[in-house]
Structure 1
């Protein structure tokens, strides 16, 4: 009976469009706490960051009824990246399906949740931030492997979203991955990391990561010495994934992501600096939810940092206009550009 329920959950998930589905009892997550401690030991500065992950290591403190976790993978490499945001905004953010109700992936998640409830199961999911350490759970379920750049890989490469449901029935349904390990002595991801956030295999300092510093971190980017190494990134970063040989030819780019073609022109540096609060709150913030409805200023600072790293005369008026911004950090970043490039303010 229990085995048939596990199999029916997996069958339903695959029918809905998930790539893989595994189920593991809660005790199989125990090693996650040890991994968090190992991260902090290797990079002491990261302690403040991983403190926020502790809730994922103690699931039953918040959900004492939980007995198993269903872990699923869904690739996003089928989507086309608009040219004007390619290399500027991280792909996982462009194709974030966690709360976008217009996407097939969000709808399949809701349908799976309803199916689980129809089986009489108590269910918990946190679509934004997860209810467990999802890469660790997916590894324990045998859905793939974690590579040296810290990302979880299936046969689709690292371009996969992970999703997890807690349920109140003890079930187990694991797979055996046949994925090969990272090539011997391969360190392309480590060498390519622009800010040396990826400081060793399976080790990183999240406080140096471009994705962290351009999203929910980096509140003082004008004074951030690593900002000059962000290259062309405005929000997020894909460098360690793009250079990975295990991602070679994994991006299919066959479909348009709902609404992205229309929104993409508004995500360039120029458009962001000219963006108004209403448009940001209505169109941009709901999609890129790591920044709040009051943090348009952060996008503008990121855009100015891009300009600072790639200054051309065509940006001069944008920088001068930014000097009059109501946001202090925007003015500060604009002033630093004027000083660096000796821009005449008159």
Structure 2
């Protein structure tokens, strides 16, 4: 087994979870964490220094993501990836081409949203669903309170809409020169990931907290959408010992979740549903519904939309074909009834 410098490695997020996986490691292995991925080259950090490692053809570097812990060996004047340790969390989303892992071994996700035209409660709920399905704790962070509109009203709206078990903060990213309101999540050995639209302040906050030199940019006039200044994920170390993973703005956010995991993000609806008259209540027009009229109507509608996405993602190709066929029959029958009614 390799020699492990626990205090140094803990400073970049190493946890007891990984120790058992190192039993088969060889003395020549070097343990490090992935801080960025550039095609077949990984940039690694072992707590003392940063260095590159290459991926052999039979080991796909694309399978290692920012935040992973890896074992590398030295040969031919370079370090080579040999093994990726099983992560304790994986932040992932579903895409049309399959499951995409965004970052690994994350404790907390700071979900950034601007109090300007970027403000969108439905998107925040989607962020929370993605994060909780991945086993990561969410924290809502509202930015641009100095230039936003209806700031107090919007903050109250979000707090009333989303259960209290998700913390809500507001800050100006460029002014976070120390931990400040983020102190509870920036302890030594903790790893945070920043998620949000382009231009919301993710890279600015990373720079302020870590002293990094991430490129930052403004937003477009009219909709306050960013210009995708950050193009890849990267891990940075804070002076206090936490690690922060900065990410590009992502437009497609489909949770990598099943119905039960989605329910974790809408636990207020799940709790109220226990009082519904019918066990299979859809909270639409059924009598005796304990949810409708209590939960924010737009939040309930957003839940239904996410639930449809999750159910569809869990269907096999044959089940999707069968469902399309069912709807075609229903539409055909509806059109026929309409024609019969007009002709009668």
Would you call these one fold, judging by a TM-score over 0.5? Answer: no
Q: Which structure: greater helix fraction?
A: 1
TM-score range, shorter chain: under 0.3
Larger RCO, structures 1/2 (Cα 8 Å, 6+ apart): 1
TM-score by length of 2: 0.28
Larger Rg: 2
TM-score by length of 1: 0.27
